[in-house]
């Protein structure tokens, strides 16, 4: 019969405990890295969605402003007795003249 010393028993006990512990810790690490990756992906998607919603809100604000302003501008123009322009004429300035007298 082989003689097992106390030192060998301690070493075996160390390996019996260490290997399963290392395997469990490795699995926990893999699952945590997977969870972090999934969360980062979700955050990136949510940031893109937030950006789209913000751009949509800006567009809606512009539309609301335009719709609120145009009827008021017509009323203000009527109150100031302004009239609609039918024909536009531009002034012709001679080319090469810096100052006209």
Q: Which residues have C-beta within 8 Å of that of residue 100, sequence separation ≥ 6?
A: 93, 94
d(CA 45, CA 90) in angstroms, rounded, equals 53
Q: What is the pLDDT of residues 53-97, one digit of tens each?
A: 999 999 999 888 877 777 777 788 878 887 778 888 887 777 766
CA atoms within 13 A on the CB side of 9: 5
18-29 pLDDT, tens digit per residue, is 999 999 999 999
pLDDT(51) > 90: yes
Prediction pTM value: 0.51
Q: What is the DSSP letter of 96?
A: T
Q: CA-to-CA distance for 4 and 43, rounded, in angstroms?
A: 57
């Amino acid at each position: 019969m082989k003689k097992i010393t106390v030192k060998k028993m301690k070493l075996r006990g160390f390996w019996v405990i260490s290997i399963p512990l290392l395997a469990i810790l490795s699995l926990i690490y893999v699952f945590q890295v997977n969870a972090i990756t999934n969360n980062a992906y979700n955050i990136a998607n949510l940031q893109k969605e937030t950006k789209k919603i913000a751009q949509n809100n800006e567009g809606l604000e512009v539309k609301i402003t335009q719709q609120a302003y145009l009827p008021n501008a017509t009323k203000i123009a009527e109150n100031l007795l302004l009239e609609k322009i039918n024909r536009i004429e531009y002034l012709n300035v001679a080319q090469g003249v810096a100052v006209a007298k």
